[in-house]
Structure 1
Amino acid sequence: MAAAERHAVTAAGLTKVYGSGGAAVRALRDIDIAFEVGKFSAIMGPSGSGKSTLMHCLAGLDSVTSGRVWLGSTELTQLGDNALTRLRRERIGFVFQAFNLIPTLTARQNIELPLELAGRRTDPEKFDALTGILGIADRLEHRPAEMSGGQQQRVAIARALMSGPDVVFADEPTGNLDSRAGAQLLDFLRRSVRELGQTIVMVTHDPVAAAYAERVVLLADGQLAADIAEPTSERIRIALDRLWDAEL
């Protein structure tokens, strides 16, 4: 299998600088990284380490200062604004801490919206399977204000997965959930990788959440600091403690 087929997202020499001159902040420093197809990966690091910036650059939500980013074999850093918008809509799914559901639409309409915008039809079997697995089949005609936080986040996940994206980026997806709802959400993300072959890259500050992933990448000061395969919450905590000690 070619590298572009094995890797859902790849970055080479990725650098991101905000501002200029004496006020410049180097958020990412010459990062080389690749995330495999069909894997659940997590990005972690101390506050200000660059983890959200990395996700935004990989997802085409933020421009890079230098370096290159690919989604599969498509180089994002060579695309114009219109092509990048189309690529994000058609090939990338997003799950954010704030849910980002449209309050005037029902759960069903929120889930189907990306497909509608792309001019694609909803696959009824896939829709029923996703909403059934997520436990929201009986909430489809409810608007976000009529649902709990956990239910809203599950609607957001169904929306992200419905179009069959190349990769789903999840930014602190359990941040607004209680521990039980958060665990259910993470379990479904893991199931979507194992059973549906989905690729997921998640940013989180929580070692327990990160332990649901198959790989954890740690950032510190905008650079790769550790890469943990088969992570456990304990292994992640030890690695984070080492980062803190090194920064003191």
Structure 2
Amino acid sequence: MAVSARDLVKVYGKGDAVVRALDGVTVSFAAGQFTAIMGPSGSGKSTLMHCLAGLDTFDSGSVRIGQTDIAQLSDRELTTLRRDRVGFVFQAFNLLPTLSAEQNILLGLELAGRKPEGSWFDTIVASLGLRKRLRHKPSELSGGQQQRVACARALVTKPDVIFADEPTGNLDSRSGAEVLDFLRMSVRELGQTVIMVTHDPVAASYADHVVLLADGRLAGEVARPTTDSVLAALKTLGA
């Protein structure tokens, strides 16, 4: 498994205000698959992703990326793991405005003191249609192009897994479809593993598998999802 959680608990607040955002979640994500996490608002889907990715702590249980138990890592080791083995694509593109597209893509590698693998960089840039945009600053790019730059940045380190949190949330339907097509292609043709949080059944239909959460607990799964099958599953959860 690329990523797994066992008996994961995350609690916010105290006393009467306590909220169990994750209430004993046990779930695994297969390598080389595109998995979507869905659920009603407040179901814990973003909290789960943040805990899986080492962006947030949890109160009990365990998370493994590959064979690495991330709770056993020091802050420095966790930072290194996130930099070298995990890629991130967020709703906000998180590009540095003073850097070109190419500089944004390579920033993580430069911070790690690593050189890009030329053929891999070329493959990513070509797959995302960014060759003619590499010298452009983010302000000179459309929202869809900026998100494709963010996808390239996530992929260029050859991470074990890419976490995508509402990656189409700020995009129009056409640009969103382009990003989702690429994420799916990166799994099928480049062997990537993608875990995506989304509220959009159309976006989820691009995945190989959907994991459903409700009230901080695993509430079902949808194999080979379609927009209709995801909508039907969400309806049973009151979403």
Q: Decide: shared fold, TM above 0.5.
A: yes
2:182 aligns with 188
* Partner Cα distance (1:52, 1:152) in 2: 22
1:129 aligned onto 2:123:
yes
1:170 aligned onto 2:164:
yes
* Displacement after TM superposition at 1:22 (Å): 1.8
1:149 aligns with 143
Given candidates 54, 60, 63, the residue that maps to 2:57 is: 63
2:109 aligns with 115
Q: Secondary structure at the match of 1:209?
A: helix
2:23 aligns with 29
- Residues 204-240 of structure 1, C-alpha deviations (whole Å, 9 max, x = no match): 0000000100000010000011111111110110011
Given candidates 41, 45, 48, the residue that maps to 2:39 is: 45
* Partner Cα distance (2:72, 2:16) in 1: 29
Given candidates 225, 241, 248, the residue that maps to 2:219 is: 225
2:191 aligns with 197
* Partner Cα distance (1:127, 1:81) in 2: 29
* Displacement after TM superposition at 1:117 (Å): 1.1
Q: What letter matches 1:19 in structure 2?
A: G
* Partner Cα distance (2:159, 2:15) in 1: 39
Q: Secondary structure at the match of 1:30?
A: strand
* Partner Cα distance (1:126, 1:90) in 2: 15
Given candidates 72, 80, 83, the residue that maps to 1:78 is: 72
**Percent identical:** 64
* Displacement after TM superposition at 1:197 (Å): 0.4
Q: What letter matches 2:56 in structure 1?
A: D
Normalising by structure 2, report the TM-score. 0.99
Alignment of 1:96-115 (within 5 A): 96-115=90-109
- Residues 106-153 of structure 1, C-alpha deviations (whole Å, 9 max, x = no match): 000000011111111011221121111101110101110110000000
Q: Secondary structure at the match of 2:238?
A: helix
1:3 aligns with none
| Structure 2 segments unaligned to the other structure (5+ residues) | none
* Displacement after TM superposition at 1:50 (Å): 0.3
